[in-house]
């Protein structure tokens, strides 16, 4: 099946565990790009060129596009609860490798099921498979992802006043280390963490993944601090989620838990706002506005130190102070007042193959609530998100002369 496929991809879940390096070897040997499920963030080196990221709303443009033209998906230890959003967009052959038989066919009709631990399967494949020469499809996937990564890098490294979320993550990456434990809350930060946070196999991070319960950030960080007293602990929450549980900052103080609490404050339930933007004819937003709050003062009221940043030039000093305080064994609140903006909406991309070419368009429901400016063409979409350098998938397929 692999030999017969023209555009195979791996879709890798947490079953891969420590097997990331082996999988990279196999990906190189067979020229199969790697797409990850969100919860495997950190398990597969993101600097590996063939790792093109995540699918679905929090994912990369490249992984979503490549998934949409794959003719073979090899799922490795992946329970992918969002399959209905992604696996149903086009037809492909499906090989599922899983150590739990009950998982077979749960998310897609299987053409071949292999009952195995994912990493053991990868190791066997490595010994049995014959290396293939670099393929145009693989090269196109790599180039597509480079284009996307370059765009993210631009957003993360530019000065912004008022503050945008990308430089915040960039600044956080400067002060974390391979031992850092991150407790992520639910909201736009779910997207931002997957796209911008540096996570290595030795880091740990947690999120309420399946129930997606807001308010898990601070409790997750408290658990992390108790479980890993020698590690740096960070919580990241939006202002909506933070407000639900911020009374537990006093618990951090009481038990001397040196947690760096980051709250991204945009006075909105941003994740939901962006969903409402895509509801045709809604004409407005509903129930998403939050009151502005001074989280630094609230923390101060509990005897907890903090800082407030409103532009990217203030980040370095604020993080330096945060590290000083947490290194001395005390919690800290970093109140990051960010602009209200939607991260690049990969969910707006509609990709399908028509007459041997990729037809890529903007989904009609994108910004269809009438409260937002409508964006009709792909170029308009790229420009709207400061991504003039972004190219549609067909551009990279043409460059590598991929025949569909």
Ligand X SMILES: Cc1ncc(C[n+]2csc(CCOP(=O)(O)OP(=O)(O)O)c2C)c(N)n1
Q: Does 213 bind ligand X (CB under 6 A)?
A: yes
Write out the H or E segment, with its range, that includes residue 309. strand 305-309
Q: Which is nearer to ligand X, 244 or 302 (CB)?
A: 244
Applying CB under 6 A, which of residues 8, 220, 240, 306 lies at the interface with ligand X?
Answer: 240
Distance between CA 81 and CA 102 in Å, rounded?
Answer: 14
Q: Which region among 15-23, 235-243, 295-303, 316-324 touches ligand X (by CB under 6 A)?
A: 235-243
In order of 54, 79, 232, 249, the CA distances from 329 in angstroms are 36, 39, 10, 14
CA atoms within 13 A on the CB side of 22: 16
Query: Judged by CB under 6 A, does residue 19 bind ligand X?
Result: no
Size, binding site for ligand X by CB under 6 A:
19
Minimum distance from CB of 272 to ligand X (Å)?
5
Which range binds ligand X by CB under 6 A, 14-22, 143-151, 210-218, 302-310? 210-218
Q: Out of 15, 77, 220, 238, which residue is the one contacting ligand X (CB under 6 A)?
A: 238
**DSSP label at 217?**
H
Residue 345 touches ligand X, criterion: CB under 6 A: no
Alpha helix (H) ranges present in 239-281? 239-245, 249-254, 270-277
Residues 255 and 233: their CA atoms lie apart, in Å, by 14
Write the DSSP symbol of residue 178: T
Burial of 84 (0-12, 13-18, 19+ CB in 10 A): exposed
Q: In this complex, which beta carbon is closest to ligand X, that of residue 168 or of residue 351? A: 168
Q: Which of the ranges 44-52, 67-75, 78-86, 208-216 carries the binding residues for ligand X, by CB under 6 A?
A: 208-216
> Closest separation between CB of residue 396 and ligand X, Å?
31
* DSSP three-state, residue 183: strand
Asked if residue 217 binds ligand X (CB under 6 A), the reply is no
| 40 lines the binding site for ligand X (CB under 6 A) | no
Site for ligand X in 244-303 (CB under 6 A): 264, 266, 268-272
Strand runs (DSSP E) across 67-194, as ranges? 72-76, 93-98, 112-115, 181-184
Structure token digits, residue 375: 């964006």
For β-strands 93-98 and 112-115, DSSP reports them as: parallel
Which CB atom, from 281 or from 287, has the smaller least distance to ligand X? Answer: 287
Report if residue 219 touches ligand X, rule: CB under 6 A: no
CB of 187 to ligand X, least distance (A): 3
Closest distance to ligand X from the beta carbon of 127 (Å): 44
Tokens of 402: 């991929």
Q: How far apart are CA 31 and CA 139, in angstroms?
A: 9
CB 38: neighbour CB atoms within 10 A? 22
Residues 109, 100 contacting (CB under 8 angstroms): no
- 65 is a contact residue toward ligand X (CB under 6 A): no
Q: What is the closest distance, in whole angstroms, from the C-beta atom of residue 191 to ligand X in the complex?
A: 9
Instruction: Tell me if 56 contacts ligand X by CB under 6 A.
Output: no
CA 179 to the chain's CA centroid: 20
Q: Which is nearer to ligand X, 95 or 260 (CB)?
A: 260
Contact 277, 369 (CB under 8 A): yes
Residue nearest to ligand X (CB): 238
Instruction: Quickly tell me which residue has 């090899």 as its tokens.
Output: 74
**Which residue number, 31 or 335, has a Cβ lying nearer to ligand X?**
335
Among 1, 112, 212, 328, binds ligand X (CB under 6 A): 212
Q: How far is the CB of 295 from ligand X (least distance, A)?
A: 12
**Nearer to ligand X among residue 15 and residue 217 (C-beta):** 217
| Identity of the residue, 173 or 267, whose beta carbon is nearer to ligand X in the bound complex | 267
Find residue 73's DSSP bridge partners.
9, 94
**Residue 121 within binding range of ligand X, rule CB under 6 A:** no
* 38 lies in the binding site for ligand X (CB under 6 A): no
Which of 189, 206, 296, 367 is in the footprint of ligand X by CB under 6 A?
A: 189
Q: Least Å distance between CB 212 and ligand X? A: 4
Q: What three-state secondary structure class fits 280? A: coil
Residues that bind ligand X (CB under 6 A): 186-189, 212-215, 238-241, 264, 266, 268-272
């Amino acid at each position: 099946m692999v030999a017969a496929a023209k555009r195979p991809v791996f879709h890798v879940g947490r079953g891969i565990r420590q097997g990331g390096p082996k999988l990279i070897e196999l990906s190189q040997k067979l020229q199969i790009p790697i797409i990850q499920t969100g919860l495997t963030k950190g398990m597969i080196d993101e600097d590996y060129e063939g790792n093109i990221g995540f699918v679905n709303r929090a994912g990369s443009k490249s992984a979503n596009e490549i998934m949409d033209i794959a003719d073979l998906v090899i799922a490795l230890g992946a329970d992918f609860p969002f399959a209905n959003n992604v696996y149903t967009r086009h037809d492909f052959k499906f090989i599922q490798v899983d150590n739990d038989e009950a998982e077979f066919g749960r998310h897609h009709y299987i053409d071949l099921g292999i009952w195995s631990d994912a990493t053991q399967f990868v190791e066997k494949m490595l010994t049995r498979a014959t290396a293939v020469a670099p393929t145009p499809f693989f090269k196109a996937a790599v180039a597509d992802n480079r284009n996307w990564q370059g765009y993210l890098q631009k957003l993360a490294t530019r000065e912004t006043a008022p503050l945008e979320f990308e430089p915040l993550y960039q600044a956080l990456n400067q002060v974390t280390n391979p031992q850092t434990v991150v407790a992520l809350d639910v909201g736009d930060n779910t997207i931002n963490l997957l796209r911008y946070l540096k996570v290595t196999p030795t880091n740990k991070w947690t999120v309420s993944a399946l129930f997606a319960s807001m308010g898990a950030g601070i409790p997750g960080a408290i658990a992390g601090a108790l479980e890993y007293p020698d590690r740096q602990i960070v919580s990241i929450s939006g202002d909506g989620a933070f407000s639900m549980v911020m009374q537990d900052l006093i618990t951090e103080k009481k038990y001397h838990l040196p947690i760096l609490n980051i709250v991204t404050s945009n006075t909105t339930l941003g994740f939901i706002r962006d969903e409402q933007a895509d509801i045709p004819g809604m004409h407005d937003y509903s129930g998403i506005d939050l009151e502005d709050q001074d989280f630094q003062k609230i923390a101060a009221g509990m005897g907890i130190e903090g800082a407030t940043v409103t532009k990217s030039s203030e980040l370095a000093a604020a993080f330096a102070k945060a590290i000083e305080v947490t290194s001395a064994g005390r919690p800290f609140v970093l109140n990051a007042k960010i602009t209200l903006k939607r991260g690049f909406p990969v969910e707006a991309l509609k990709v399908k193959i028509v007459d041997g070419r990729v037809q890529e368009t903007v989904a009609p429901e994108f910004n269809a609530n009438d409260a937002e400016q409508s964006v009709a063409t792909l170029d308009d979409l790229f420009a709207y998100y400061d991504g003039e350098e972004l190219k549609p998938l067909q551009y990279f397929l043409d460059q590598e002369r991929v025949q569909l």
